[in-house]
Amino acid sequence: MTAITVLGLGEAGRLYALGLREAGAEIRGYDPFTDVRDAGIRQFDSLAEALAGADLVISLVGAKAARAVAAEVLPLMSGAAVFADFNTSGPEEKADLSRLAAEHGINMVDVAVMAPVPRSGHRTPLAVSGEAAEAFAALLAPLGAPVETVPGAPGAAAGRKLLRSVFMKGLAGLVLECQAAGEAAGAGQWLLDEIAGELGPDGPALVARLIEGSHAHAVRRTHEVEDSLAYLQSLGTPAWMTEGTLRWLSSLAAERG
């Protein structure tokens, strides 16, 4: 039985812990700020106990806390275990975590979660890069997690996610702009229906998801688009659409306070 420690038991961490447990893994959870024992997750108060014997350690603590948590976790891990950073951040941050892991003799992989976790739980598509990418895939694929290995060091998978975000978050920004213009012109629903029709059979659901998700997750998505913009700038390519997307999401985030 694969032993997996999940660090961070917020929405995504809890869904991964529950899904992987149901798929047959031994799950240990750790989160000093959230208690999910009533959901049936075996949660530890001691970080060392949560890490003991783990084959895989999944970090889902959020990008801002990722490095600080890794600095606390890596010295306590077994050299045989894989440290998987699932947090959304840029390639440079992932490379920095990889160097930190190497200092402690730990294999670290950069894992990009390629779709919203609430939709598919632990079966959400993943992209992974790093020397231990194949080992990571061998641990998770039998548990039903779709894993695509990406050539390159940690940071390569993060780059793929940010490129995808340029399109997906940009599409959301375009829909938001059309919604606002359509409503001002007295043709809001008509325009959204036109867009949905162009997007195929699932168009109406996609349009609704883009609008609702942008409002509900504006703060988190603002940070993701900031990372996407920084990545495009590092590539030296135009980022005009992404700059507009950032303005839309920033305005929604400001409205949420």
Q: Average of pLDDT values for 105-129?
A: 96
- Biggest CA–CA distance in the chain, Å, is 62
- pLDDT tens digits, one per residue of 50-82: 999 999 999 999 999 999 999 999 999 999 999
Q: Cα–Cα distance between 90 and 44 in angstroms, integer?
A: 30
**What average pLDDT does the chain have?**
96
pLDDT of residue 257: 72
Q: Average of pLDDT values for 111-127?
A: 95
198: exposed, middle or buried (Cβ count in 10 Å: 0-12, 13-18, 19+):
exposed
pLDDT of residue 15: 97
Residue 256 in this model has a pLDDT that exceeds 90: no
pLDDT of residue 95: 96
Q: Average of pLDDT values for 236-254?
A: 97
